[in-house]
Structure 1
């Protein structure tokens, strides 16, 4: 399934009034993980109160031990500090990478902004080396914009 076909489905999930935010985010993660072959783990991390750390709020894929990530650590922690997209074609080449699974070969992390503040991010792990394109970045930025509207 291609990104244009997924957009209305993401919007429909986020518009469901009978679901709380965590359930909506989990359903978005599941939609992406199930419909994009190289999205093997999809999760949303958010700033954990006033702490300099991220906390996992929703995900689809294998469970992870990394439910809390300090700012600056790993790809997610670096994005929390840089406020910039981070695409890692090959995680073996990243010295500050936190391994979630031995199968992960690539990762993309896109910050989520509300009123100009980086409050979280979407994190995608792939078992395929170098699968992410500029279209993935644009799509995930769009997903985060839509998520920001319900927060």
Structure 2
């Protein structure tokens, strides 16, 4: 499944007819529609010089969390740690911001441009503990490709 998705992600990003936000939205839609346990897929980006993340393109239910301070929630922690964060059970996390009562697990992978953490891809799942190392490697690939157009 991920091998086919990698090809589709590359095709989207290589399209010259769309702007960056359109491409990122298309990737979010593709991942949400193609991976059964990816219930919400979105990009967050560092908000200028502020110590906060701002919601970018996403697919899934609307969220109130359009701005997330560094250190707050899973996304805010990844903004500071620069490392992937896989949460098999969000209920077991003290520093978790609930986007929806249906969310059971979350994975956040930082996005680097020239070695700097400028954002992340965030995926919520309504399935308990669905994420594997394969998901991490795939999302690292997605971010690596996305970084080339930013």
| Gap runs ≥5 in structure 1 | none
Q: Deviation of residue 74 (structure 1)?
A: 0.2
> Which residue in the other structure is 1:17 paired with?
16
Asked if 1:42 is matched to 2:36, the reply is no
- Specify the SS of the correspondent of 2:55: strand
Normalised by the length of structure 2, the TM-score is: 0.99
> Which residue in the other structure is 2:2 paired with?
3
RMSD: 0.4
- Specify the SS of the correspondent of 1:150: coil
Q: Deviation of residue 75 (structure 1)?
A: 0.1
> Which residue in the other structure is 2:89 paired with?
90
Normalised by the length of structure 1, the TM-score is: 0.99
The aligned runs of 1:135-146 (5 Å cut-off) are: 135-146=134-145
- Specify the SS of the correspondent of 2:9: helix
- Specify the SS of the correspondent of 1:56: strand
CA distance, structure 1, for counterparts of residue 7 and residue 119 of structure 2: 23
Deviation track 1:31-77 (CA, whole Å, cap 9, x = no partner) reads 00000000000000000000000001100000000010000000000
| Gap runs ≥5 in structure 2 | none
CA distance, structure 1, for counterparts of residue 80 and residue 103 of structure 2: 23
> Which residue in the other structure is 2:30 paired with?
31
